[in-house]
Copies of this chain bind each other. A is one copy, B any other.
Amino acid sequence: MPIGAEELAASLPQMNLELLASCRTFIVEELRSARRFLKRAGYPYPIDDTDFHLLNEHTTHGEVGGYLDAIARGENVGLLSEAGLPCVADPGGMITRIAQRRGIEVVPLVGPSSLMLALMASGLNGQSFAFNGYLPVDKSQRASTIRRLEERARRERQTQIFIEAPYRNNQLLEALCTVLQPNTMICVATDLTLPTQYIRSLTAVKWQKERAKVDLHKRNTVFLIGE
Contact = CB atoms under 8 A, between A and B. Distances in A.
25 contacts: A10-B13, A10-B15, A10-B110, A12-B110, A13-B13, A14-B14, A85-B120, A88-B119, A89-B126, A90-B126, A93-B127, A96-B120, A97-B123, A99-B123, A100-B187, A106-B123, A107-B197, A108-B118, A108-B199, A110-B110, A110-B117, A110-B193, A130-B130, A130-B131, A130-B158
Q: How large is the interface on A (under 10, 10 to 19, 20 to 34, 35 or more residues)?
A: 35 or more
Contacts of A125: 93
B130 A129 contact: yes
Contacts of A111: 110
Given A13-B13, A87-B121, 6 more contacts: A87-B123, A92-B120, A96-B123, A100-B122, A107-B121, A108-B192
A116 B87 CA distance: 9
B86 A108 contact: no
Interface string A178-208: 0000000001000011000101110000000
Nearest to A6: B15
A131 B133 contact: no
Number of copies: 2
A133 B123 contact: no
A131 B132 contact: no
Contacts of A126: 87-90, 92-93
Interface centre among A11, A96, A124, A158 (most CB of B within 10 A): A96
A121 B106 CA distance: 6
Interface in A133-149: 133
A82 to B, nearest CB: 14
Interface string A71-97: 000000000000001111110110011
Contacts of A90: 126
Interface in A7-24: 7, 9-15
Most buried by B among A110, A187, A192: A110
A33 interface: no
A128 interface: yes
